[in-house]
């Protein structure tokens, strides 16, 4: 089983790009990439210098519960195509390591699954976690700031769990 890396859904990106409120009810903040590493959660690529982008408070969960973390994410401000779901490591994951953590079908952290993982081990770590029936999906998050980067699921999601389901 190869894990599938899912971009921010098109409808979510369109909502933010149209000025729709983020998880805190705020309008997206607009910035211009200065050449630093600006990881777009929709294209799963780093944005080049001069690219307008948005910063929003995003909660990558369908429901509210104590484990439904909210935090800042970046996405290109212009209406650009999102990445297709992929079994390849997304090119915007360029840091030395990330947190890889499993969640249950009811969107709770599965304790004992979170680990700071070297980038070249992320695909294998996700596959190992998703082999466990208790884990419905995995998040890859910043190892330094805990920011959400990408959701990872099985190629055949658990019953009742749609591919890419998100609020």
Is a pLDDT exceeding 50 seen at residue 159?
Answer: no
Tens digits of per-residue pLDDT, 100-131?
A: 999 999 999 999 999 999 999 999 999 999 99
Q: Which of 76, 99, 133 is the last residue of a domain?
A: 76
Q: Are residues 12 and 63 in the same domain?
A: yes
Neighbours of 89 (CB within 10 A): 17
> Is 163 a member of any domain?
no
Q: According to the model, what pLDDT value does residue 164 have?
A: 43
| SS (HEC) of 134-153 | CCCEEEEEECCCCCEEEEEE
> Is 11 a member of any domain?
yes
Range of the domain at 110: 86-153
Is a pLDDT exceeding 60 seen at residue 144?
Answer: yes
Using CA of residue 4, residue 139, residue 143, residue 83, what is the dihedral sign?
positive
Q: Are residues 58 and 99 in the same domain?
A: no
> Is 2 a member of any domain?
no
> Is 111 a member of any domain?
yes
Q: Are residues 136 and 118 in the same domain?
A: yes
Q: Are residues 122 and 141 in the same domain?
A: yes
Cβ contacts of residue 64 below 8 Å, gap of 6+? none
Give how many domains the chain has, as a whole number: 2
Q: Are residues 41 and 67 in the same domain?
A: yes
pLDDT band at 157 (very low <50, low <70, confident <90, very high): low
CA atoms within 13 A on the CB side of 91: 7
pLDDT band at 1 (very low <50, low <70, confident <90, very high): confident
> Is 118 a member of any domain?
yes
Is a pLDDT exceeding 90 seen at residue 13?
Answer: yes
> Is 1 a member of any domain?
no
Tens digits of per-residue pLDDT, 24-70?
A: 999 999 999 998 789 999 999 999 999 999 999 999 999 999 999 99
Tens digits of per-residue pLDDT, 72-93?
A: 999 999 998 999 999 999 999 9
Is a pLDDT exceeding 60 seen at residue 163?
Answer: no
Q: Are residues 90 and 38 in the same domain?
A: no
Q: According to the model, what pLDDT value does residue 10 have?
A: 96
Q: Please answer whether residues 34 and 113 qualify as being in contact, where contact means their C-beta atoms are separated by less than 8 angstroms.
A: no
Is a pLDDT exceeding 90 seen at residue 162?
Answer: no
Q: Are residues 40 and 59 in the same domain?
A: yes
């Amino acid at each position: 089983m190869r894990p599938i890396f899912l971009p921010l859904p098109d409808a979510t990106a369109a909502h933010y790009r149209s000025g729709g409120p983020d998880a805190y009810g705020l309008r997206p903040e607009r910035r211009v990439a200065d050449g630093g590493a600006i990881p777009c959660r929709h294209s799963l690529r780093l944005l080049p210098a001069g690219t307008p982008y948005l910063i929003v408070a995003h909660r990558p969960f369908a429901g509210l519960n104590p484990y439904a973390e909210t935090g800042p994410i970046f996405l290109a401000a212009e209406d650009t195509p999102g990445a297709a779901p992929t079994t390849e490591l997304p090119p915007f994951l360029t840091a030395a390591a990330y947190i890889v953590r499993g969640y249950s079908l009811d969107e709770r952290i599965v304790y004992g699954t979170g680990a700071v993982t070297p980038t070249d081990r992320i695909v294998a770590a996700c596959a190992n976690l998703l082999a466990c029936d208790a884990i419905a999906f995995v998040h890859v998050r910043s190892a330094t700031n805990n920011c959400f980067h990408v959701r990872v699921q099985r190629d055949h999601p658990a019953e009742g769990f749609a591919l890419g389901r998100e609020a």
